[in-house]
Amino acid sequence: MPIRIGHGYDIHRTKAGRPMILGGVRFAESPIGLDGHSDADCLTHAICDALLGAAGLPDIGHFFPNTDPACKDIDSQILLRRVIATLAERGWSPVNIDATLIAEQPKIQPRLDEMKNTLAASLGIATDCIGLKATTNEGSDDIGRSLAIAAHAVALISKP
């Protein structure tokens, strides 16, 4: 059974008045959100790029250009589901995901199960096939000053 591994990384700047959506979950109480063309869910974008990378495909910006009006403010779970469909057309299915969010705020620990359940539904895999962690940047650089949020992800995919 062929298996492949991929890595993804994304970063978005924070902005007042924008929604804070991470892993498909909205942090309504957050005074800041993420700036971008889509809903700017950098965690989901990193997962998309890890999956696409594993399949040897171009990155998220190739499939969903930030000049496409159809992608404006789009829910990134829709993009993730399309990435899964693109992989499926080539015979690939996700096996597991592991991701790390780097953010001073919001605290994701209380919403971790909700985030995993949301991502699992989009990915079509069991919740226990998703690893999700967060760390602050210990106050350093733009992430440490809450000016940006970043995410890393790795994905394993397989073909029967």
Ligand X SMILES: C[C@@]1(CO)OP(=O)(O)OP(=O)(O)OC[C@H]1O
- Site residues (vs ligand X, CB under 6 A): 10, 36-38, 40, 45, 60-61, 64-66, 71, 74
Residue 62 in marked binding region: no
- 67, amino acid identity: T
Judged by CB under 6 A, does residue 148 bind ligand L45E5XJ5? no
Q: Which does 7 bind (CB under 5 to 8 A by kind): ligand L45E5XJ5, ligand X, none?
A: none
Pick the closer one to ligand L45E5XJ5 by CB: 67 or 109.
109
Task: Tell me the C-alpha distance between 90 and 114, whole Å.
Answer: 30
**81-110: contacts with ligand L45E5XJ5 (CB under 6 A):** 103, 107-109
Judged by CB under 6 A, does residue 113 bind ligand L45E5XJ5? no
Task: Tell me the C-alpha distance between 125 and 96, whole Å.
Answer: 8
β-partners of residue 102 are 135, 150
Q: Which of 89, 100, 85, 91 is nearest to 154 (CA)?
A: 100
Residue 117 in marked binding region: no
Contacts of 146 (CB under 8 A, 6+ apart): 14, 32, 103, 104, 105
Q: Which residues are known binding-site members?
A: 10-12, 37-38, 45, 59-61, 64-68, 135-138, 145
Q: Which residues are known binding-site members for a divalent metal cation?
A: 10, 12, 45
